[in-house]
Structure 1
Amino acid sequence: MMLTLFAAGSLKSAFLPLLDRFRQDSGIDVVVQFGPAGLLRERIEAGESCSLFASANTQHPQALLAAGCALEVHSFAANQLNLTARVMPATDSADWLSLLRDPALTLGTSTPGCDPSGDYTWQLFDNIDAQYPGTGAAIKQRAKMLVGGRQTLTVPEGEIASAWLIRQRLADLFIGYAHYSQALVGHTDIRTLAIPQPYNVRCEYQMALLDAQPVARQLMHFILSAQGQHFLREAGFLTLDGK
């Protein structure tokens, strides 16, 4: 028995150990493909076989449900955004907003439309603009969509996009998911900065059940279970209990 899971790339650190445990407990093999959720949704809509789709937003699962491609959808985790910066004299003492405002610093992002991380980042810029008119728009105009698109850079296996882009001198700053900061603790050449309210964005993760087989539903319930939520929490995600 084998299932196919399409999952947002940001879920890799949580889902790899989660799926190992699911295989051990159930004896069911799961083939997982990670990628930008918007592009994964396009593959599903084009007819690729998929039992369960775990997205970094609600929009893509809800669209599949509305189109009759999904049987049901469930929220299973949440995230926020943060800022990763190169450690250098120009960034050492500046706060997150001062860094984003600095036109001398190259700001990298993911790609809106193709990747929910890019959509959330553009929402962040709009939130900044609501507090400081013109500022968010100016930051948005400078932002470089470096990953998460159809023809953007491919981050090497095992690398975190923010750290890799900064170390490759392709960006000085990167806006990405906050759970990655857990894996970057102790790195001396980069630092992560929290983005406070009312600017930050709640990134709600939702999955769509696409296969009526009981084993597909079994995997969905495992992700929603206390055991599945443990793996998400350990990887730095906000879970259904609000922690």
Structure 2
Amino acid sequence: MKCDGIGLSVSPWIGNALMLVFPRRGPAARRVDELSRGESPLWLRLLLTAGLRIGTSTPHADPAGDYAQKLFDLTSRWGRQFLSILRAKSRALVGGEVSGKGAKTVTVKEVLLSRKADVFLSYTSNAGNYPAESFRTLQIPTDENVDARYGMLLMTSRAAPLSRWLESQEALRLMAEAGFRA
């Protein structure tokens, strides 16, 4: 791939996607167990549940927020109204600007445990951050999900050994174990 004079080369590397995460003891967990088969996917029916609060990262400040909005866009294939419903129900709760004395970044776990949201759209690579005894995750199938692609820019020849290792089967296996896609 072309790198326009910045570094030596650019190559595609790994990918990521979104999933739903929610507390084991909460309205989303109760609802997902009650939902029956329908024309739209389970993850979408869960998000459309009346009264269920959806948390996302902040669009334009955190790429995960932009991917959440893109996922909402994709729901129009099941119903035109779903995009506006999901945007109205969702709140950007992490990944935004943090300012002021003593201000700190809020985590998805804190958002869910403090009940500011019932379900959160998170990267699949974050699944390990949510202990199974406290949280459940719901995967969104690849053909219904966004495709977050990450590339690698080789800046100098000194980094070539690292670049080769990052593209090796071993490194890609480790990334897959961490929830990324090769």
Larger relative contact order (CA 8 Å, sep ≥ 6):
2
Query: 1:69 and 1:96 mapped to 2: Cα distance?
Result: 41
Q: Figure out how many residues of one structure are paired with residues of the other and give that number.
A: 168
Preserved CA contact (<8 Å) 1:129 1:137: no
Preserved CA contact (<8 Å) 1:162 1:175: no
Q: How does 1:1-243 map to 2 (within 5 A)?
A: 65=3, 68-88=5-25, 90-91=27-28, 92=30, 93=33, 94=35, 95-151=42-98, 154-155=105-106, 161-184=107-130, 186-187=132-133, 189-196=134-141, 198-209=143-154, 211-212=155-156, 214-239=157-182
Please give the per-residue CA displacement for 1:77-111, whole angstroms capped at 9, x wherever unaligned: 12221111233463222442232113422211112
Residue identity (%): 31
- AA in 1 matched with 2:11: H
Give the SS at the match of 2:10.
Answer: strand
Query: Normalization by structure 1: what TM-score?
Result: 0.60
Query: 2:168 and 2:55 mapped to 1: Cα distance?
Result: 35
Please give the per-residue CA displacement for 1:145-197, whole angstroms capped at 9, x wherever unaligned: 12223348614xxxxx433320132221100112333453532x321112235
Gaps of 5+ in 2: 36-41
Gaps of 5+ in 1: 1-61, 156-160
Query: 2:178 and 2:143 mapped to 1: Cα distance?
Result: 25
Query: 2:96 and 2:60 mapped to 1: Cα distance?
Result: 8
Q: Aligned-pair RMSD on alpha carbons? A: 2.6
- AA in 1 matched with 2:55: G
- AA in 2 matched with 1:172: D
Query: 1:116 and 1:234 mapped to 2: Cα distance?
Result: 22
Query: 1:77 and 1:123 mapped to 2: Cα distance?
Result: 19
Query: 1:198 and 1:106 mapped to 2: Cα distance?
Result: 25
Give the SS at the match of 1:236.
Answer: coil
Query: 2:162 and 2:96 mapped to 1: Cα distance?
Result: 28
Query: 2:66 and 2:26 mapped to 1: Cα distance?
Result: 31
Give the SS at the match of 1:238.
Answer: coil
Query: 1:113 and 1:69 mapped to 2: Cα distance?
Result: 24
Label 1:184 to 1:170 Cα distance change in 2 as closer, same or farther (>3 A). Answer: same
Shift of 1:232: 0.9
- AA in 2 matched with 1:177: Y
